[in-house]
Amino acid sequence: MHKFENCLVIGVSSRALFNLEDENRLYEKEGVAVYSRYQVEHEDVILTPGPAFNLVKAFLNLNNMNPFERKVEIIVMSRNNADTSLRIFNSIKHYNLDITRAALTGGNLLFPYLNAFRTDLFLSASEEDVQQAVNAGFAAGIIYTQNLAGGSSNGLDQIRIAFDGDAVLFSDESEKIYKEKGIEAFQENEIKNAQNPLPEGPFAKFLKILSSLQHGFDSNEPPIRTALVTARNAPAHERVIRTLRAWDVRIDEAFFLGGIAKSDVLEAFGAHIFFDDQAIHTDPASEVVSSARVPYRQVLVNEGNE
């Protein structure tokens, strides 16, 4: 029996992996019956790459570095049913992607199956699916499906992933202070708590897994490179650095931008994907690199009353 305990498991929706925007508009306009008929009639028409394509391909390349130990498993997760999914599998075969597993839910939500596959990261164009995933404690992002075909043009020999800090790697605790009381209160809080690590955010576990994977490769030319791209600046930088040190994780590059636009830095870094919680950052970033917005976790009423 195959187990995923020692693998990084990434769940990717069919719209994230391939360009299905025309088909999605057909579904929204004409309904499921017309959409299903179209997909069956065009199942031999190969789909073009979507925004997560190059990221997925780069991750799968890790498995080629050691044929005796799989580092990554990609699970295609789709609300398609089995009958309408052949086009997806034909496209996977066409591009020679080493993807053999899928969850096809026939219109039902995907998030209940994330735990069954031990998913570490979930990428989807569906805000509903991603919101439910984040609520359930998974690292998940709503990937932008416009502007880029295939994602970053950066090579496949090194995976480059960029993260925002607050509400992504870290909790939104400090960000709430900024939004409710302003920049001065935020800076004062971060100076006061500089020695106290920030609480973990939705992508903390994912970053730790990436850091662990990095340790398994040659440190001179690691196949994974990470970057922190945050609107924080000094003096709020110290708490971030000490938090990463307390987590014993490796961040290769860090940019404390103090409100400067992130898109130019992300383009220079060559990110395969960028995760941020605010559309004000992901909207412009998506024009130069694949980007995914991380929604805030919604606390259920019963959970809040416990």
* Positions marked catalytic: 164
Residue type, 176: K
**What's the half-sphere exposure (Cβ side, CA atoms, 13 Å) at 164?**
30
